[in-house]
A and B are shown apart, each in its own frame.
Chain A
Amino acid sequence: MAEKTKLKGLSRELIALRVASELEDGTYVNLGIGIPTLISDWIEGRDIVLQSEIGMLKTGPLATGDDVDQDLINASCQPVTALQGTSYFDIAESFGMIRGQHIDVAVMGALQINDKGDYAGWSNPARGLFVGNIGGSMDLCAGAKKLYIAMEHTTRDGQYKVVKQLSYPATAMGKVSMLFTDLAVMEITPKGLLLQEVAPGISADDVQSVTEPKLIISKDLQEMQF
């Protein structure tokens, strides 16, 4: 694979902000480890309930200082706070909630994704282990009504993460509906990846240059709004 020039896209925080603006009020949402966790900083005061698979609904902002309680963490092992209306429950209940299709949207990070909505996130083969950390990712793929991926568009050294074929072990097949990166917003459609938005200063050609499958360019292509 040819070495690519690294394009200057959005910060991780702004990727999270763009996903946050896609989430609708009145929804139950689960956020995975990494960029998705940052989304919680952008939805304070909105009518969105965060589920943490550890067994908590209405997860509050991160706890600091005296508010840190070792009995109150989110699924990314960060100390969090409770809100008015928070509830706690056991893990079988939590995953029943997830597999039972009660969660409206799950946002996960990914190592690779293709244009059919298959993605890989639980195991990096470079580590040389057949086993890995699956966590709750496969349950969320199986049960969330919508699955979004939020990630950097390429690896640190500029290699494709949006690929034609996954070379990493899959987390789930055909489940992803939207992809948010530092460069673009894409919808996964039956015909392939539909490029809907580009980051400020980024062109559709730029996005294609770091995307292995051929993009379909939306006739309404626009720059991301913040």
Chain B
Amino acid sequence: MEKVFPSIDEAIADIKDGAMIAVPGFFACGVPRALLQAIIKKGTKNLTLTCGCGPLLGAADELKTLVQKGQLKKVIDSYGLFRSASKGMEDPFEQAVRAGTIEFEVYPMGTMAEKYRAGGAGIPAFYTPTGVGSVVEEGVVTNIEANRGKKETRIIDGRKYVLEYALEPDFAFIHAYMGDREGNLCYAKTARNFNHVMATASKVTIAEVENLVESGKINADDVHTPGIYIHRMIQVPRPKFAITID
């Protein structure tokens, strides 16, 4: 089944204002930078970007532009702020979070991973031991006070667990090292991170690949994400990242 689109702009043409988009990447590793640049160019507004571990710190220029153009409504992540408090004060995203003009909702990283895994696997919610004994157990951790809803907990076999809900974003932006025309993907090294689970969780998954190959060129044993999860593909140049977080 052919998944390749003629252009990146056509691949994202139906993303409307208010969409929720999953953005994989672990800081500067495995981030779909070309797709982020395309959504900036398209100017789609009111976006919720749901992440896993700081891809928008890795794609810092894109984040800055998204904030300055007023395209973001909300970001969900486990690690989205600069480590350095002084650098954070200079950062337009943190400033918007402080002002309450962008919502920032935070979960432990393993809970983020499981939200996507569950979303892609037909599980609506799950109990996890992670976060028990912290504010994560009490309610949703967000800068918007009105949205700090209570969380349910339950004791199972003498241990306490928190109920967390699956995530099924409208779109996922995926970055893969290689993909064939049918959407079978393989990732390079630690750039896999959130890419696979986000591809499974989202209603429409759009993959940018550094190397587009003919069907059959990826050894069937080496496919990391089978093509069933990928709806649209485009080839992009290998992005360049500064490997740093402060």
A25 within 8 A of B: no
Q: In the complex the two chains form, what is the Cα distance from A79 to B190 in whole Å?
A: 10
Q: Which of A3-60 contact B (CB under 8 A)?
A: 33, 52-56
User: What range describes how many residues of B lie at the interface?
Assistant: 35 or more
B93 to chain A, nearest CB (A): 12
Known: A73-B26, A73-B27, A129-B98. A134 touches B106 (CB 8 A): yes
Chain B residues contacting A169 (CB-CB under 8 Å) are 134-135
Given A72-B189, A129-B98, A138:B134 Cβ within 8 A: yes
| A135-B129 in contact (CB<8A) | no
Q: Establish whether residues B190 and A54, one from each chain, have CB atoms under 8 Å apart when the complex forms.
A: yes
Q: With a 10 A CB-CB cut-off, give which of A69, A77, A95 has the most chain B CB atoms.
A: A77
Which one of A55, A126, A130, A132 lies within 8 Å of B190 (CB-CB)? A55
For B26, list chain A residues within 8 Å (CB).
Answer: 54-55, 73, 75, 77, 91
Q: Which listed residue, B98, B110, B145, B197, touches A136 by the CB 8 Å rule?
A: B110
Q: Are B106 and A91 in contact (CB under 8 A)?
A: no
A129 touches B81 (CB 8 A): yes
Question: B: which residues have CB within 8 A of A?
Answer: 26-30, 52-54, 78-81, 83, 85, 88, 94, 97-98, 104-111, 113-114, 116-117, 128-136, 141-143, 145, 177, 188-197, 224, 240-241, 243-245
13 of the cross-chain contacts (CB-CB < 8 Å) are A73-B26, A90-B197, A99-B110, A131-B104, A131-B141, A133-B79, A134-B107, A135-B78, A136-B78, A138-B110, A142-B128, A170-B135, A173-B132
